[in-house]
Amino acid sequence: MNIRGVILVLVLGLPAAGLLAFGPRGLHEVPPDRTIVRYWEKWTGVEGQAMQRIVDRFNQTEGTRRGIWVDYNALGDVDKRMLISAAGGDPPDVAGLPDRFVPPYADQGALRPLDDLAREFSLDLDAFKPIWLSICRYDGKLYALPSTPYTIALYYNRSLFRAAGLDPDHPPQTTAELNEYAQRLTRFEGGDPTNPRAGRIVQLGFTVSPAMLGWWTWIWPYFFDGQLWDGRRFTLDTPATHAALGWVRELRTAVGNDRVLQFEGTSAAIESAQNPFLSGQLAMVFQGPWLANWARVYAPDLDYGVAPFPSVTRERQHVFASEDVFVIPTGARHPREAMVFLEYVLRQEVMEELCQAHGKVSPYRLPGSEFFARHPNPHIHVFDEMATSPEVFGYPSMPTWAEAWTEMLYLLETVMREAREPAEAIRMTQTKVDSVVADYERMAAHRRGGAR
């Protein structure tokens, strides 16, 4: 299959020739008689340092014994660079990607299926929680292996709960209750002294806005028993989506949408003491386990709790799960040597060391005895248990997810800014994504026909 077509499909915009000429090499003092495994990863800073320590240890131990040297390179836009290098016939042997790239890259033939290698190396895939392995599969095949996984939960400020007369040991249990709590947790200053809800917002209860940590702009229909992909069609124009966006609008209208927009425009740097949740300006937020790392550094006295994000009913607990993954690109020169390295990284003690350093959960069904005891997040049990929910879900496994995600962001912004009625905006978005999916399927059919 011609991987060069991937670049045209995804409009990468980076010249392959330039990358091949000046792309990452980074080899330093490689011992003789070693097979060099090139590993490209997106992590920098503390996360990158944690992975570099593991790579160094592999090179000094298992790599020495097996005659392998892993050359670790931390890159920006590693997803695009990997595709470009594959198109030029010179991909890395291993790449670390966000999980949402697995379906489109696998569908375009840019990833090597790993089922045979997993059997050859006797990887115990059943040791992983089902959701993490499910995310690694596409169209019935294994295209990735779990790296550092996470679930997303509701963080809430216990001190602000007390000040609003709410029980800090009883976080909201339903989406309706969350809206009720959010209204009570919103505070105003200025304006008409006879109306305590007049004036500007100085503390907001909750928001789904991307301007204030609302990173997952597409996710809300799932908490209303919906989904966005049924394996064949993008399913947006459903009762669940209408209910979800009605829920978003209801909360904003209750406290004044113009004032909410004005407040959201004041959001400061996320990884700093001015993070709106860490500074006490935002009472509840939908975020991952890494937020505890920032709290420890920038707000060590913050009294906060963590709970599963509420769904429309108490009976069904919907949980969003995501992970970084390891892949072996199509055309990699040393796939078996790459698997030797991945087999080492996937040893439970090694992987859990990495997950602890990243502040994330373990991918294993039964985390090691020291994992929770040494974890920097005091609430990591909550995130870990959420991954076993019967209603756990990941990114929609659709090849055109990038385009759908863009349209979902526009849909949410349209509703938040009251540019259109939710029902009209939903119908328009459904039509747009239907067109994107249909165009892709026609192109994919033509590509597959050409491959034969």
Query: Does 199 or 302 have the greater pLDDT score?
Result: 302
Pair 323, 147: CB distance under 8 Å: yes
Using a CB cutoff of 8 Å and minimum separation of 24, what contacts does 343-349 make?
343/121, 343/123, 344/58, 344/62, 345/54, 345/58, 346/123, 346/145, 346/146, 348/127
pLDDT at 197 over 90: no
d(CA 233, CA 364): 32
Q: What are phi and psi of 141, to 5 degrees?
A: -120, 150
CATH number for the domain whose boundaries are 4-150+324-388: 3.40.190.10
d(CA 65, CA 68): 8
User: What rounded mean pLDDT belongs to the chain?
Assistant: 91
Reported as a pLDDT band with limits 50, 70 and 90, residue 270 is: confident
DSSP-assigned beta bridge partners for residue 140: none
Q: Is the dihedral of CA 102, 124, 319, 283 positive or negative?
A: negative
d(CA 51, CA 43): 8
Reported as a pLDDT band with limits 50, 70 and 90, residue 3 is: very low
Segment 361-377 shows an average pLDDT of 95
Per-residue confidence (pLDDT) for residue 248, from 0 to 100: 97
Reported as a pLDDT band with limits 50, 70 and 90, residue 9 is: very low
3-state SS string for the chain: CCCHHHHHHHCCCCCHHHHHHHCCCCCCCCCCCCEEEEEEECCCHHHHHHHHHHHHHHHHCHHHHHCEEEEEEECCCHHHHHHHHHHCCCCCCEEEEEHHHHHHHHHCCCECCCHHHHHHCCCCHHHECHHHHHHCEECCEECCEEEEEEECEEEEEHHHHHHCCCCCCCCCCEHHHHHHHHHHCCEEECCCCCCCCCCEEEEECCCCCHHHCCCCCCCHHHHHCCCCECCCCECCCCHHHHHHHHHHHHHHHHHCHHHHHHHHCCCCCCCCCCCCCCCCCECEEEECCCHHHHHHHHCCCCCEEEECCCECCCCCCEEEEEEEEEECECCCCCHHHHHHHHHHHCCHHHHHHHHHHHCCCCCECCCCHHHHHHCCCCCHHHHHHHCCCCEEECCCCCCCHHHHHHHHHHHHHHHHCCCCCHHHHHHHHHHHHHHHHHHHHHHHHHHHHHHC
pTM of the complete model: 0.91
Buried-exposed string 9-43: b where 16+ CB fall within 10 A, e elsewhere: bbebeeebeebeeebbeeeeeeeeebbbbbbbbbb
pLDDT at 421 over 80: yes
pLDDT at 13 over 60: no
pLDDT at 395 over 60: yes
Each residue's pLDDT tens digit, 65-87: 999 999 999 998 999 999 888 88
Per-residue confidence (pLDDT) for residue 451, from 0 to 100: 55
Per-residue confidence (pLDDT) for residue 267, from 0 to 100: 79
Per-residue confidence (pLDDT) for residue 87, from 0 to 100: 80
CATH architecture of the domain formed by 153-308+399-438: 3-Layer(aba) Sandwich (3.40)
CA angle, 339 as apex, 359 and 9 as ends, to 5°? 80
d(CA 96, CA 42): 7
Per-residue confidence (pLDDT) for residue 29, from 0 to 100: 80
Q: Percentage of the chain with pLDDT > 70?
A: 92
Segment 160-185 shows an average pLDDT of 98
d(CA 427, CA 413): 15
Q: Same CATH fold, 153-308+399-438 and 4-150+324-388?
A: yes
d(CA 20, CA 5): 18
Each residue's pLDDT tens digit, 89-129: 899 999 999 999 999 999 999 999 999 999 999 999 999 99
Each residue's pLDDT tens digit, 320-345: 999 999 999 999 999 999 999 999 99
d(CA 369, CA 318): 27
User: CB neighbours of 103 closer than 8 A, spacing ≥ 6?
Assistant: 138, 397, 398, 399, 401
Segment 237-258 shows an average pLDDT of 96
Domain boundaries of the chain, sorted by first residue: 4-150+324-388, 153-308+399-438
Classify residue 272 as left (phi > 0), alpha (psi -120 to 50) or beta: beta
Per-residue confidence (pLDDT) for residue 18, from 0 to 100: 46
Pair 109, 349: CB distance under 8 Å: no
Q: Dmax of the chain from CA atoms?
A: 81
Reported as a pLDDT band with limits 50, 70 and 90, residue 207 is: very high
Residue type, 128: F
d(CA 429, CA 447): 27
pLDDT at 6 over 60: no
Per-residue confidence (pLDDT) for residue 445, from 0 to 100: 82
Segment 256-263 shows an average pLDDT of 95
Per-residue confidence (pLDDT) for residue 196, from 0 to 100: 60
Segment 126-139 shows an average pLDDT of 97
pLDDT at 8 over 50: no
Residue type, 250: E
